[in-house]
Amino acid sequence: MNLSELKTPAELEDLYHPVMAEIKEVKRLSAMETYYRVELPGGEDLGHMPGQFVELSIFGVGEAPFSVSSSPTLKGSFELGVRRAGMLTDVLLRQQPGTKIGIRGPFGNGIDVEKFKGKDVLIVAGGIGLVPMRSMINYVIDNRDQFGKLIICYGSKSDQDLLFTDELAQWETDPSIDYHVTVDQGSGSWKGKTGVITTLIPGLDLDLPNTVCCICGPPIMYRFVLLSLKSKGMSDENIYMSLERRMKCGVGKCGHCQINHSYVCQDGPVYHYPDIKSLQEAL
């Protein structure tokens, strides 16, 4: 390690020191997922990029990483979409506006939006993978003149599990967005497509050399989406993916998130596919 990279005790303490933030809004997204709008002291901006995450703590309970779901273009507060998974998320679910929580971050590399500018942007989001991808989608929507076509492929277990349904309805009717959605299994009232997310890819109208893709979803999805994109002719160079690993510190100190030489909390969670395609463990 370069000596100049060593942190002083004070700097290290800062990395671990949460800022006291306040939950401003809580909305149920589905049976398992809940939306939170969070404000930092004085309405200060989080200063994140799409794809980055925060470490959220509830005092006396614990801390866990969550992707920022809002675009950096949303000012004064930021948004999260949280699935009920265990102890912390269970307690979070019972919180109301006004609750104080700890926030560290933003952490991780996020999406290098400069590399996407001027290009058509293809987002492939499975299940809760829509939460971080929504940040990028809304970033593109709010900076429409800087990007080409926006193509969204979203897959969910069922129509009851679809997240941010008000926004999905807007994307569906927005003529500047090529929006596709499918569910593994539809309820009686579902009129849309059924089938796994990869069934959406063959029908996409892509300008391949000018399209960059970002994928985020459950671990099982990546291999099959990659195969579909390859058979469509998309080059590895144009593929980015956001990976999720168990994390503790979020700042490259504990090693919990390590895949071979890479710390997902720092080198990721967004990876350029050519950089990780040799890591069998990653995909």
Which of the listed partners (ligand FAD, ligand FES, none) does 249 bind, with a CB threshold of 5 to 8 Å by partner kind? ligand FES
Closest to ligand FAD by CB, 95 or 199: 95
Name which position in 49, 128, 212, 276 contacts ligand FAD (CB under 6 A). 128
Examine residue 256 and tell whether it contacts ligand FAD (CB under 6 A). Answer: no
Q: How far is the CB of 192 from ligand FES (least distance, A)?
A: 38
The CB-nearest residue to ligand FAD is: 86
Distance CA 147, CA 111 (A): 14
- Among candidates 282, 261, 260, which has minimal Cα distance to 270? 282
Closest to ligand FES by CB, 13 or 142: 13
Examine residue 262 and tell whether it contacts ligand FAD (CB under 6 A). Answer: no
Closest to ligand FAD by CB, 57 or 228: 57
Examine residue 255 and tell whether it contacts ligand FES (CB under 6 A). Answer: yes
Distance CA 17, CA 101 (A): 12
Q: How far is the CB of 9 from ligand FAD (least distance, A)?
A: 26
Name which position in 21, 152, 201, 257 contacts ligand FES (CB under 6 A). 257
Examine residue 269 and tell whether it contacts ligand FES (CB under 6 A). Answer: no
Examine residue 232 and tell whether it contacts ligand FES (CB under 6 A). Answer: no
Question: 53 CB contacts (<8 Å, ≥6 apart)?
Answer: 65, 66, 67, 68, 105, 106, 107, 108, 132, 250, 269
Examine residue 65 and tell whether it contacts ligand FAD (CB under 6 A). Answer: yes
Which of the listed partners (ligand FES, ligand FAD, none) does 128 bind, with a CB threshold of 5 to 8 Å by partner kind? ligand FAD
Q: Which of residues 88-117 bind ligand FES (CB under 6 A)?
A: none
Q: How far is the CB of 63 from ligand FAD (least distance, A)?
A: 8
Q: How far is the CB of 251 from ligand FES (least distance, A)?
A: 7
Distance CA 175, CA 253 (A): 46
Which of the listed partners (ligand FES, ligand FAD, none) does 49 bind, with a CB threshold of 5 to 8 Å by partner kind? none
Examine residue 87 and tell whether it contacts ligand FAD (CB under 6 A). Answer: yes
Q: How far is the CB of 183 from ligand FES (least distance, A)?
A: 33
Distance CA 61, CA 1 (A): 34
Report the C-alpha dihedral over residues 192, 195, 197, 203, rounded to 10 degrees.
-70
**Residue indicated by tokens 């959605």:** 181
Question: By the criterion CB under 6 A, which residues form the site for ligand FAD?
Answer: 53, 62, 64-67, 81-83, 85-89, 128, 131, 244-247, 269
Binding site for ligand FES (CB under 6 A): 247-250, 252-257, 263, 265
